[in-house]
Structure 1
Amino acid sequence: MYKNHPKGLFVLFFTEMWERFGFYTVLSIFVLYLTENFHWSEATVGNIYGIFVGTTFFLPLIGGWIADRFLGYGRTILIGLSTMAAGYALLAVPTKHSWLMFAALAVISSGTGLYKANIYVLVGNLYTKSNAALKDSAFTIFYMGINLGAFLGPIAASTIKNFMIDHYHLPIATAYNAGFGAASVGMLLAITIFLSFRRHHRMADYRVSDKKQDERTEVVLSRSEEKERLLSLLVIFASIIFFWMAYYQNGFTLTLFAKVYTVSLVDRFTFLLFDPVSLLSLLALLLSVSTTARKTSTTRSRVAGGAVAIAAILIMILKFNRFSNANVISPESFQVFNPLFIIFLTPIMIGMFGYLRKRSKEPSSPGKMAIGM
């Protein structure tokens, strides 16, 4: 699954993972923080949440233009990550002044606009005509990094919140601020990875307008071909709008549903899915099983996968024996399940499409999107 991909893909994978870790750490507790700290109505909180998420989708249009015309992709990404780190740090400051919170959201949205579109361009630019067939699987792997960050974010938010309440007896709103601080740390990790291994993705930091022409330069399209591609993009846009409308209810409607309509005490079996250590052990178990089950796995990787699986099972047994019969769960913890399923199913999807590719039956990228929808 990971063979023949450039090293730059994995640098950008972990950069994106920590960036998404920060975003989903905030997203998992943002609505809860607003209701707890400012005591606003659900309608008001929903409007703020919707505008915030919406700006993170619209501002990348400007960020892409800035990268294309002025700064280049790598520099724009770095500025975006730094801006988001500052925004999350600002959001971590305990306050009853709403203007400070809105200022933090504006900074975060601006940083996201500079970062979001351009990291995808770098991933695409890593692939030339000689390895263009790997581009679809590259973005699938990259998307798994997004979901790994989305999986770790709510765990961090819930763990830090509970730690601050249990050990420092902080009000719950202030404990949420500590979770926002963890998001800022995630940005710093993303910056560190992006800069430390820059040599692996520097060659992808080029633009079509650059004077230097080589194998990576895109084929010049005719006007009719451009119109066809734009029309295809518009069709995709029209359908994907509804996907994101539904998806981002996890940060608002589903979070409030979990807070109001789900039980807060569960038995020890159920708590295995909510305890951070047990859940990470379960993820390690799933990934190790998928590694050992692949036909292309070496003996060494299978032995390592088996060892990880045994360790994960032992950890879950030890944790299970320490749980009580009534364990408290937090509403933000429910957000780990969607990325968990995606992480588990992504290698299966890559293997399935690889199997179809060898038989010249692999669906097109729009076809895969249609199947997913």
Structure 2
Amino acid sequence: MFKNHPKGLLVLALTNMGERFGYYTMLAILALYMQAKFGFSSGTTSMIYGTFLALVYFLPIFGGIVADKWLGYGKTILFGVLGMFGGYLLLAVPSGPDVAGMSMMFAALFLISAGTGLFKGNLQALVGKLYDDPRYQSNRDIAFSIFYMFINIGAFFAPSMANTINKAVLEKQNYVYDAAIPKNFVRLNDKVVDEQKFMTELIQSHSDFDSESAEEQQAIIKKAKEKQGVMFAKDKEEVMFNLKAAGIYQLTHANVIPTAEGLTTDEYTLLESRAKDEQAAKEAVIAKINAFDTSNLPGGSVDNPDAFAESFSAEYVHDSLSTSYSLSFAVACFSLIISVLVFLIFKKSWKSVDVVAGKKNEDAGEANANVPQLSKQEVRDRMIALFLVFFVVIFFWMAFHQNGLCMTFFARDYTISNITPVQNMMFSLLSLIPVIVILYGVYAMVLGLFGGKKNPKVGAILILLGIAGLAGTYFMDVKGATELVKITPQIFQQFNPFFIIVLTPVVVAIFAALNRKGKEPSAPRKIGYGMLIAAIGFVVLLVASIGLPAPSTLKGTSDVLVSPNWLIGTYFTLTIAELFLSPMGLSFVSKVAPPQYSGLMQGGWLAATAIGNLLVGVMGTFWDKLPLVAFWGVLIACCVLSFIFIFSIMKKLEKVAA
């Protein structure tokens, strides 16, 4: 796979893989961390999360300027690693759920976004510089496909690493993760905000409130509270009971079983049914719930559910969950250390192309001779072409990154979540990794990966190892298991990096074969095809959504649920689209960007991604306002119109890329 490529490609790909592993480990738990530790409302969490992502993708513009004009790519990348390391370290340091803790978090997020701004675009620019050498120019597109695959190797393992650490910490303290505590704690905060807003608006609706007598003002407030109580009491009661039930579940694992005192008949029945759903974990609740002294509870007694929930949430969330999240952030620190060591130890592989325009670089050797001299008109034409491509890809990322938002909503509300142990093998890393090994064994034998065409033993060994891994997983986790397995909505997101890892060698082989025949499509054409394939991906979801109720009509999950295979099929199609578009876009930018603006234009590509990410949220506001078919139809239309637009300007784009 690395044949006919400079050695620096593997070094830079490994550097990026380590950094992305840490970044996606952090990103997998960031929203959960903010809500669990600080009790932020959904709105507050979304604003912080969205602002952070926007900075991560906008700041590479400034990082590119720093590298292009002053420091060069290598030094700027190192400063970026230092900033990110400081940010992850701040998140990893235990802190309280107070102002000091929040200040540390905001400082950490700023350092991570600023460090990423210095690192990400410039590493991509450095990869492009390697392929300014005439010996490697024809392999530029393939190089960025390989580089992109390594990004996704890091992304593939990251969510599972965060989950593994989270589970291990809680199990050590006799707990298991229960989303009800942070989720309902946040819901309670949302209700408090809603109540305050409702009271304020209700009182303000009396335009003469301030001029009323004290007695009249009290009467208005009393009526407002009565109306408020009717509107919010039931919802708060449900939230508090969920917290209380979650607390009892956790205490069961800690061998602290509360009595049923304070539970109504309905609450006890509901709790009993929940306990039966998780027999192994909750049988003790049924057997002992009437026999334990509540004086041992952290909140005293469940007679006061508000006090119980508040005290238990504080102890469980702030101590146990926060510790597990902090350790996950520490993993990001460790992965950055590995990345920077690879980057520096093999410095010779990329140092020759670390050229600052207009400055002498004694280590550059003949690399300076490969830097083209462009006229002002050529620079202008190239910049216009790049901005046109940036405009197109905004709509791809707006659609594609629904995977973390509306596609996750679809997984939660419309997709079957209880599956058989055999079906669960599709979702388990213990099964997916052997599948990757088997496929790479096939690629070694068929495509010549790892020299397998000349030595089929390499492929055969990989295939046998993969089969052994699958067999081991089956006998350990599947054989004899009869109970259904519950999958979480977010688990579907691992399919995108999984498909990138298994499909990249195939895509690279196809493009290489076409290149040898002189028939490989240009990078702009690949981007256009990627937009069309993305539209097809959402057609899959549109077909799956026919006959399903609109999100606005749901009180919980839909009564009609569809197979998980629909979402998996969508991820498969969108991944093919991504392989046509994203690495090809990076390649196009590196080839077309004027030398003096290489880092800046890689930052521009990431800024277009940032705008697309912002539009993800804008599109998400229509989730509960449109029927499902109409919602997916809007995304399909955006992708198709972008496909039409880019082909309408194809001659201009291919001219500057020639």
CA drift of 1:25 comes to 1.0
| Structure 2 counterpart of 1:289 | 442
2:517 alignment partner, one of 352, 359, 364: 359
CA drift of 1:20 comes to 0.8
CA drift of 1:329 comes to 4.4
State the distance in 1 between where 2:419 and 2:151 align. 29
Larger Rg computed on CA atoms: 2
C-alpha contact 1:82 1:191 (8 A) present in aligned 2: no
Q: Secondary structure at the match of 1:56?
A: helix
C-alpha contact 1:28 1:251 (8 A) present in aligned 2: no
* In the alignment, structure 1 residue 306 sits paired with structure 2 residue 460: yes
2:469 alignment partner, one of 315, 318, 331: 315
State the Cα RMSD in Å: 2.3
CA drift of 1:117 comes to 0.9
The change in CA–CA distance for 1:330 and 1:79 in structure 2 (over 3 A counts) is farther
The change in CA–CA distance for 1:60 and 1:299 in structure 2 (over 3 A counts) is closer
1:107 alignment partner, one of 107, 111, 114: 111
C-alpha contact 2:81 2:336 (8 A) present in aligned 1: yes
C-alpha contact 1:37 1:173 (8 A) present in aligned 2: yes
C-alpha contact 1:31 1:251 (8 A) present in aligned 2: no
TM-score (norm 2): 0.53
Bigger mean CA deviation after superposition, 81-90 or 205-214: 205-214
* In the alignment, structure 1 residue 162 sits paired with structure 2 residue 314: no
C-alpha contact 2:446 2:453 (8 A) present in aligned 1: no
CA drift of 1:287 comes to 2.0
Bigger mean CA deviation after superposition, 213-222 or 232-241: 213-222
CA drift of 1:140 comes to 1.1
Superposed CA offset, 1:37-73 (max 9, x none): 3332323222221111110111111111111222211
Bigger mean CA deviation after superposition, 138-147 or 36-45: 36-45
Q: Secondary structure at the match of 2:366?
A: coil
Bigger mean CA deviation after superposition, 135-144 or 287-296: 287-296
Q: Which amino acid aligns with 2:442?
A: V
| Structure 2 counterpart of 1:71 | 71
State the distance in 2 between where 1:164 and 1:261 align. 32
The change in CA–CA distance for 1:65 and 1:89 in structure 2 (over 3 A counts) is same
CA drift of 1:258 comes to 5.3
1:219 alignment partner, one of 369, 372, 378: 372
Q: Secondary structure at the match of 1:273?
A: coil
* In the alignment, structure 1 residue 44 sits paired with structure 2 residue 44: yes
- Segments of 5+ residues of structure 1 without an aligned counterpart are none
Q: Which amino acid aligns with 1:156?
A: M
C-alpha contact 2:440 2:462 (8 A) present in aligned 1: no
Q: Which amino acid aligns with 1:176?
A: Y
CA drift of 1:107 comes to 0.7
Q: Secondary structure at the match of 2:355?
A: coil
State the distance in 2 between where 1:310 and 1:66 align. 50
* In the alignment, structure 1 residue 123 sits paired with structure 2 residue 127: yes
1:243 alignment partner, one of 385, 388, 396: 396
Counting only pairs closer than 5 Å after superposition, residues 203-218 of structure 1 correspond to structure 2 as: 203-211=352-360, 214-216=366-368, 217-218=370-371
| Structure 1 counterpart of 2:20 | 20
Superposed CA offset, 1:247-291 (max 9, x none): 444445555665677666543223323333332222222222222
Superposed CA offset, 1:158-179 (max 9, x none): 2221222223446334322222
| Structure 1 counterpart of 2:148 | 143
CA drift of 1:94 comes to 3.8
CA drift of 1:344 comes to 1.4
Counting only pairs closer than 5 Å after superposition, residues 3-18 of structure 1 correspond to structure 2 as: 3-18=3-18
C-alpha contact 1:28 1:335 (8 A) present in aligned 2: no
Q: Which amino acid aligns with 2:378?
A: E
Bigger mean CA deviation after superposition, 296-305 or 318-327: 296-305
Q: Which amino acid aligns with 1:138?
A: A
Q: Which amino acid aligns with 2:128?
A: G
C-alpha contact 1:158 1:330 (8 A) present in aligned 2: no
C-alpha contact 1:155 1:333 (8 A) present in aligned 2: no
Q: Which amino acid aligns with 1:214?
A: E
| Structure 2 counterpart of 1:196 | 345
C-alpha contact 1:158 1:333 (8 A) present in aligned 2: no
State the distance in 1 between where 2:416 and 2:407 align. 14
Superposed CA offset, 1:107-144 (max 9, x none): 10011011011101111111212321111111111111
Bigger mean CA deviation after superposition, 245-254 or 343-352: 245-254
Superposed CA offset, 1:225-255 (max 9, x none): 1121111111111111122233444445555
Q: Secondary structure at the match of 2:4?
A: coil
Q: Which amino acid aligns with 2:474?
A: F
C-alpha contact 1:16 1:145 (8 A) present in aligned 2: yes
Bigger mean CA deviation after superposition, 286-295 or 151-160: 286-295
Bigger mean CA deviation after superposition, 99-108 or 322-331: 322-331
The change in CA–CA distance for 1:208 and 1:126 in structure 2 (over 3 A counts) is same
State the distance in 2 between where 1:252 and 1:26 align. 17
State the distance in 2 between where 1:192 and 1:353 align. 33
State the distance in 1 between where 2:3 and 2:52 align. 38
Bigger mean CA deviation after superposition, 100-109 or 26-35: 26-35
The change in CA–CA distance for 1:243 and 1:229 in structure 2 (over 3 A counts) is same
State the distance in 2 between where 1:123 and 1:363 align. 21
CA drift of 1:35 comes to 2.8
| Structure 2 counterpart of 1:84 | 84
Bigger mean CA deviation after superposition, 237-246 or 139-148: 237-246
The change in CA–CA distance for 1:34 and 1:330 in structure 2 (over 3 A counts) is farther
Bigger mean CA deviation after superposition, 93-102 or 168-177: 168-177
State the distance in 2 between where 1:165 and 1:258 align. 26
Percent identical among aligned pairs is 39
CA drift of 1:333 comes to 3.3
1:339 alignment partner, one of 497, 502, 506: 497
Q: Secondary structure at the match of 2:493?
A: helix
